[in-house]
């Protein structure tokens, strides 16, 4: 910068003014400085700027696993929104288990003086809340898909309860009365919320809830879907539809149903959750609930941007609605099934 100043025959401060587009610079001077900048291929240092201005224009985002489509989408949304505001996004993947790892990483991000932090960890964090609280004192923090109770931390999430409700409602609207569900692991708040939605839907339709029509997976994967469906079928109680809390659970369930000689959707309708990329391409194309993860990520960033310098006391919970995507895996119940 001093070089540029010297070359243009002005002071460094004037160079700074030109760079920041201040209007108190005479056009002739401005052009001279611009030329010097170009000739020297000068690139201003954001670090130095950060040091004085105490703003790094950098946000941190910590997730459990970006290779999971769910988080990847959130990151994409966050990144796009961040860029819109001229911010960078530093990402960090922290294994579910390694909570001291997380601590160390957050500390490093703090050292980097990030301007805000997005945390995307769907499961309740046992420890680290103290750290999180200390963090919020220094920098705005927004959590994604979490049920943290730390005050002054805003939370952005998909409305899982509503999603479960809508999914079940769809089945009821199509004429189903015996509706089973395969949940995710119930220690996940999202699984609980979807189950709640399912129950609420049954209640509203004045349908009785049957314990043997509820199966819980030990994870969100395909095998759990198969096991779940197996348990449902062996439970004795007949059903014409299944609400699976994830697409993979749904796919697993479908595989199991088929093995038992049941057709989808003719004999059993299936609704999934997530709208993973292949959902539209499996057989049959899966009716599912789409989680607007990009918007979730974008909203998280927006909240941080808006909160910069704002009152930190106000912490809210922002729920985005997950729309039901209708495809081919849901049909009215077969007459025979109804009769049974």
Partner DNA sequence: TCCTCGAATGTGACCGGTAACATACGCCTG
Partner DNA sequence: CAGGCGTATGTTACCGGTCACATTCGAGGA
Count the helix, strand and coil residues of the chain and give each as a percent rounded to the nearest 5.
Answer: 45, 15, 40
Map tokens 């994409």 to a residue: 76
State yes or no: residue 58 binds a copy of itself (CB under 8 A).
yes
Binding piece for a copy of itself, criterion CB under 8 A, among 83-91, 122-130, 230-238, 306-314: 83-91
> Looking at 28, 47, 313, 335, which residue binds a copy of itself (CB under 8 A)?
47
- What single string gives the DSSP state of each residue in 104-163? HHHHHHHHTT-SEEEEE--SPPSS-HHHHHHHHHHS-EEEES-----TT-EEEEE-HHHH
> Looking at 25, 33, 66, 337, which residue binds a copy of itself (CB under 8 A)?
66
> How far does the chain reach from its first CA to its final CA, in angstroms?
83
If the CB atoms of residues 142 and 251 are measured against a copy of itself, the closer one turns out to be 251
As measured in angstroms, the least distance from the Cβ of 19 to DNA is 6
> Looking at 67, 97, 211, 236, which residue binds a copy of itself (CB under 8 A)?
67
* Neighbouring-strand partners of residue 120: 63, 144
Round to whole Å and give the CA distance between 191 and 214: 12
State yes or no: residue 132 binds a copy of itself (CB under 8 A).
no
Which residues does 198 contact at the CB level (< 8 Å), separation at least 6? Answer: 164, 165, 167, 168, 179, 181, 243
As measured in angstroms, the least distance from the Cβ of 285 to a copy of itself is 11
Give the pair of three-digit tokens for residue 188: 């996940």
> Looking at 84, 124, 134, 204, which residue binds a copy of itself (CB under 8 A)?
134
State yes or no: residue 11 binds DNA (CB under 7 A).
yes
Q: Cis bond leading into 265, ω under 30°?
A: yes
As measured in angstroms, the least distance from the Cβ of 306 to DNA is 20
Residues that bind DNA (CB under 7 A): 1, 9-14, 16-17, 19-20, 23-26, 28-30, 42-45, 48-49, 51-54
Residues that bind a copy of itself (CB under 8 A): 41, 43-48, 50-51, 56, 58, 65-67, 69, 72-73, 75-76, 79-80, 83, 88-93, 105, 107-113, 134, 138, 222, 248, 251-252, 255, 276-278, 281-283, 294
């Amino acid at each position: 910068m001093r070089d540029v100043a010297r070359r243009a025959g002005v002071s460094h401060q004037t160079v700074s003014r030109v760079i920041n587009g201040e209007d108190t610079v005479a056009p002739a001077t401005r052009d001279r400085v611009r030329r010097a900048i170009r000739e020297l291929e000068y690139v201003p240092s954001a670090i130095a700027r950060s040091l004085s201005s105490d703003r790094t224009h950098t946000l941190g985002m910590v997730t459990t696993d970006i290779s999971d489509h769910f988080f990847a989408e959130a990151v994409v949304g966050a990144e796009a929104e961040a860029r819109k505001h001229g911010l960078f996004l530093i990402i960090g993947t922290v294994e579910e288990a390694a909570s001291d790892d997380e601590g160390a990483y957050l500390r490093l991000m703090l050292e980097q003086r990030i301007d805000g932090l997005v945390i995307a960890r769907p499961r309740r964090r046992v420890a680290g809340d103290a750290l999180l609280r200390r963090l919020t004192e220094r920098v705005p923090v927004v959590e994604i898909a979490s049920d943290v109770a730390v005050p002054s931390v805003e939370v952005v999430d998909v409305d899982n309860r509503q999603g479960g409700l809508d999914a079940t409602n769809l089945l009821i609207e199509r004429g189903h009365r015996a509706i089973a569900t395969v949940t995710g692991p119930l220690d996940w708040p999202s699984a609980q919320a979807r189950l709640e939605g399912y129950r609420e839907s049954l209640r509203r339709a004045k349908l009785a809830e049957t314990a043997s029509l509820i199966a819980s997976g030990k994870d969100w994967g395909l095998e759990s879907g198969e096991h779940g469906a197996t348990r449902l079928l062996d439970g004795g109680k007949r059903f014409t539809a299944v609400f699976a809390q994830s697409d993979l659970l749904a796919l697993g369930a479908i595989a199991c149903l088929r093995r038992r000689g049941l057709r989808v959707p003719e004999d059993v309708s299936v609704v999934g959750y997530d709208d993973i990329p292949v959902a539209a391409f499996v057989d049959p194309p899966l009716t599912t609930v789409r989680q607007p993860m990009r918007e979730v990520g974008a909203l998280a960033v927006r909240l941080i941007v808006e909160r910069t310098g704002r009152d930190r006391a106000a912490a809210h919970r922002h729920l985005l609605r997950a729309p039901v995507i209708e495809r081919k895996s849901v049909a009215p119940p077969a007459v025979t099934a109804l009769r049974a």
